A = this chain, B = another copy of it.
Amino acid sequence: MLKFLFLKKETITLPEILEDLKKEKRLNLIPIEEVHKLSLEELKEVQAILVLGGDGTFLKAVPYAYKYDLPILGVNMGKFGFLTETYIEELPYTILALEKGLNFFEERTLLKVIYQNKEYVGLNEGAIMKGPTGKIIYLNLKINNIEVTTIYGDGLIISTPTGSTAYNLSAGGPIVHPKAKVFICTPICSFKINIRPLIIPDDCIIEVSVNKTDEDIHLLIDGQINLFIKKEEEILIKKAEKTLKLIPSLKRNYFQILKEKFQW
Chain A contact residues, CB within 8 Å of chain B: 127, 129, 131-136, 143, 146-150, 153-154, 161, 164, 167, 169-177, 179-182, 184, 188-201, 204, 218, 220, 223, 226, 253, 255-256, 258-259, 262-264
Contact B149 A264 (CB under 8 A): yes
Name the one of B149, B170, B253 contacting A189, with C-beta atoms under 8 angstroms: B170
Given contacts A184-B174, A189-B188, A256-B146, contact A179 B201 (CB under 8 A): yes
With a cutoff of 8 Å between Cβ atoms, the chain B residues found around residue A259 in the complex are: 147-149
Q: Could you list 6 examples of A-B contacts with CB < 8 Å?
A: A150-B264, A154-B154, A174-B196, A177-B182, A177-B200, A195-B264
Q: A176-B198, A181-B181, A195-B262 are in contact. List 9 more A-B contacts (CB 8 A).
A: A135-B223, A149-B264, A154-B188, A174-B198, A175-B198, A175-B199, A177-B182, A177-B198, A193-B262
A90 CB → nearest B CB, Å: 19
Also in contact, A193 and B169, with CB within 8 A (given A143-B255, A180-B180, A199-B182): yes
Copies of this chain, count: 4
Q: In the complex, what's the smallest C-beta–C-beta distance from A226 to chain B, in angstroms?
A: 6
From known contacts A199-B180, A226-B134, infer whether A193 and B192 are also in contact, taking CB-CB under 8 Å.
Answer: no
In the complex where A193-B169, A194-B262 touch, is A180 in contact with B181 (Cβ < 8 A)?
A: yes
Instruction: From known contacts A174-B184, A201-B179, A220-B134, infer whether A169 and B196 are also in contact, taking CB-CB under 8 Å.
Output: yes
Cβ–Cβ contact B196 & A148, under 8 A: no
Distance to closest chain B CB from A126 (angstroms): 12
- The answer to whether A170 touches B190 (Cβ under 8 A) is yes
